Amino acid sequence: MTPPTPKLHILQNGMSRSGNVWLAHLIRDLLSEAGVPIRQHLDGHPVAEALADEDLGIDGIQHADFIRLHPLRCFYTILENFRWPIADLDAYIASTTHVASHCHWNAASAEVYRRFSHRVYVIRDPRDVAVSAARFMFTPYNRLHQPQPHADPQHLLDAQLQTWTQDWVRHVAAHLHRREAMDIHCLRYERLLLEPTDELCRLAAYLGLTLDAEQMRRVAERNTFTTLKQQQPQHLFKGRWGQWREDLRTGQIRQVRAIAGALLRELDYPLDLTDADGWTPQADFGARHTRSRGSIPQEAPANPAGEIRPL
């Protein structure tokens, strides 16, 4: 007997530049392979159609459902080009299979998260997040829509490393703390690179999808980083762990360790160049964080949208 098709309304979150576009492709392909009908709120939306011929930097992004969670109101957005308030959150969620966000945890998050059937969160080494963010802000799209006062990615990285690292700590710690209570499935970007099929199997099991080994192999092969980079050349760059070892100076590595060292240790990330030699990501991580409240802010007023922020 064929298993029943699950009714899914998935919320995906993660700090900007943590592999969110890649994960969105993987989720959609898993759903498609499992025969789950995929709906997007923006399908047929007049603004999405009007932006169809514009260069938005990410192919197909005008049809991808993306929300910003603010304490008093949720909005659905298309990058920096369009934002509209969600008047009826339940109706919005019912209209879509898969929604993405970069938002920090805030006073409204728990109520919003509970309304989705599943919650998926992706984590990446903050040093690689920062290096990738600095490059990303100099893509053609961002040069036009988010112009920078800095001459190049390195100068932007010098100016923003502290802020981005602090944002990462707040974002990741808040979601790890609520991992069990909110039933959030956490993935590590580095594991998707190293063991994509294993991570896809874990994700499919969490979503209640029934896929055989051949189906999982097809999804993994269709969504290698190299393949997606060809489809998204302005959004995906090198797609490997440890670029920070080449791009960050010794003082900057120490700066990140001073800000994020405790959480890096908890997630089993190497703290410095010596520890990084031969490092491989573990399948499970952050277990201690789910058992201890720690010093986690309930809100992140400095950057409630969880975005990579220019000065």
- Residues 78 and 47: beta-carbon distance below 8 Å: yes
pTM recorded for the entire structure: 0.88
- Residues 37 and 44: beta-carbon distance below 8 Å: no
Would you state the pLDDT for residue 212? 93
Helix (H, G, I), strand (E, B) or coil at 123: strand
Domain extents in the chain = 10-291
Please say whether the structural domain 10-291 has been given the CATH code 3.30.450.20: no
- Give residue 239's pLDDT band: very low, low, confident or very high (50, 70, 90): low
For residue 238, is pLDDT > 70?
A: no
164-221 confidence digits (pLDDT tens): 999 999 999 999 999 999 999 999 999 998 888 999 999 999 999 999 999 998 998 8
In three state form, how does the secondary structure of 166-193 look? HHHHHHHHHHHHCCCCCCEEEEEHHHHH
